[in-house]
Chains A and B, each alone.
Chain A
Amino acid sequence: MTPIVSAVKVGKSFGTVQALSDITMDVAAGEVVCLIGPSGSGKTTFLRCINQLERFDSGALFLEGELVGYRRAGDRLHPLAEAQIAQQRRATGMVFQRFNLFPHLTALGNITEGPVQVLRQRPAEAAEHARSLLAQVGLSHKADAYPSQLSGGQQQRVAIARALAMRPRLMLFDEPTSALDPELVGEVLAVMRDLAERGTTMITVTHELSFAREVGHRVIFMDGGRVVETGPARELLSNPQEARTRGFLAAVLS
């Protein structure tokens, strides 16, 4: 079966900073992959390359076998036009560290915006789907609330529902709980655990190692823009092979 994500020697630099080098990995359908690593190791950049908020500048990245962001012409890769990039982006849902809900729209409006404006669904149909997603994230009673009237945990759950509304084939989470007060982390992780149990393919950048251990199928440890170590979640977390991984885990757990 074609992997959902297939990265082959993906590289990305910001000027002189090499944010990603030679990232190679596959993510299979239904798999939950947790990305861990120190700050500045390129985790965010990798997620942003997958849904093309950044353009990687070497290597190749495939989503369900389709080349991301480029078109092959002879022995070269030409960047795609903006409209085609927008089209490809619909296959992935992104959840940001800082939620980034649309403040001028209600919770329901945030969720229906993409389906109605981008997928051209009928508003009634989109609203019905949105309500079922709100129920799924436990916020049926907040449909008409504006983001400013919601707690951080509630906002992040709406943001997850907003991404799901596009029926993505891959969900990307960039430290979804690190902007939350400690007592609100659990409710967001519970929603993500539920998604994982429903068979959603996810790549999650997280510092919640217990979540990674219990929900993650595979953990990838990155450092300095490279994949240092990858392995089954429990195995890698309890018995890391690389010294750098051990050092990082020791620092996070202390």
Chain B
Amino acid sequence: MTEPAAVVLDSASALDIAQLRHVRPRHWGRIVSATCLLVLLALLVHAFAIGQINWATVGVYLTWPTILAGLLNTIIMSVCAMALGIVLGVAAAVARMSPNPVLRSTAIGYAWLFRGTPVILQLLLWFNLALIFPVLGIPGLWSARAVTVITPFAAALLGLGLNEGAYVSEIVRAGLLSVDAGQYEAAKSIGMSHSLSLRRIILPQAMRVVVPPLGNQFITLVKTTSLASVIEYAELLHNAENIYYSNAKVMELLFVAAFWYLVVVTALSFGQAVLERRFARGIARAR
């Protein structure tokens, strides 16, 4: 039992009280903390403005051809590796949920192998594949020298895509598990095959759960592409580094790269919000 806020003595004073204007709650804590934050931010901006950094140089390099080419390569690699990752991840998740033990253990093994080793190590392994397999191919049909096939692009795509697929498979699996078992049965009861029910009924519902972590994964990937600079893939950070090796404008070029990463990630966040709304269709949600 809690005490009543006010003890009403008679109905006349209750009526009086009922007439009073209701004031909205004031959040003093929020106002104070927001003010503190703004002051700190202003101090930070000021520090950078008077620091030993040449903002004009940052402006110049923002649209420098080498930087833009690097940005383009970063975007291309992110999109390709994510596409590969989604295809592999969905396949692995479906295999993991299959009643077939061969498929199931293959999927488990795949996730174990690629989640269990650092991405940078996987990139180096793919890039140096020629050391163990000088010639790649299918005996009698086609073969090529590994050094010509495994370009920086190919090595980065394989390394990042395969690794991505392992993580995506767990995300998709969580999504599949979130769908009620009754949905599989309802889909079967109208004569759908397993693959049709996955495509039309189960995956679209799983997407609601899958999109937020998948967006997160994509954002992480955009930044992880910078690791491909170790295998000479000409992405954004790699190109920025090459420029500052020759002109020593280290901070300026790092700011340029940071700016573009933020732009790409911001665009992705908007895309994610659109997708989330798209897949929330028909699902009543409690905020």
Contacts and interface: CB of A to CB of B under 8 A. Distances in A.
A82 B194 contact: yes
B186 A89 contact: no
A146 B282 CA distance: 5
A106 B182 contact: no
Contacts of A117: 192, 196, 200
A39 to B, nearest CB: 19
A175 to B, nearest CB: 13
Interface in A69-113: 82-83, 86-87, 89-90, 92-94, 96, 98, 100-106, 113
Given A147-B282, A148-B284, A113 B194 contact: no
Q: Which of B186, B191, B204, B283: most chain A CB closer than 10 A? A: B191
B230 to A, nearest CB: 43
A146 B281 CA distance: 8
A99 to B, nearest CB: 8
A166 interface: yes
A84 to B, nearest CB: 11
Q: Give 5 nearest A-B pairs by CB, closest first.
A: A146-B282, A114-B190, A100-B186, A90-B191, A148-B284
A147 B284 CA distance: 9
Contacts of A87: 191
Contacts of A149: 284
A162 B201 CA distance: 14
B188 interface: yes
B200 A86 contact: no
B188 A89 contact: yes
B180 interface: yes
Nearest to B183: A100
B189 interface: yes
Interface of A: 51, 53, 82-83, 86-87, 89-90, 92-94, 96, 98, 100-106, 113-114, 117-119, 146-149, 159, 162-163, 165-166
Secondary structure of the B side of the interface?
helix
A170 to B, nearest CB: 12
B182 A104 contact: no
B189 A51 contact: yes
Given A53-B188, A89-B188, A98-B182, A104 B193 contact: no
Contact of B282 (A83, A89, A106, A166): A106
A96 B190 CA distance: 12
7 contacts: A53-B188, A92-B189, A96-B186, A100-B183, A113-B201, A117-B196, A146-B282
A53 B190 CA distance: 11
Contacts of A119: 191
B193 to A, nearest CB: 5
Nearest to A87: B191
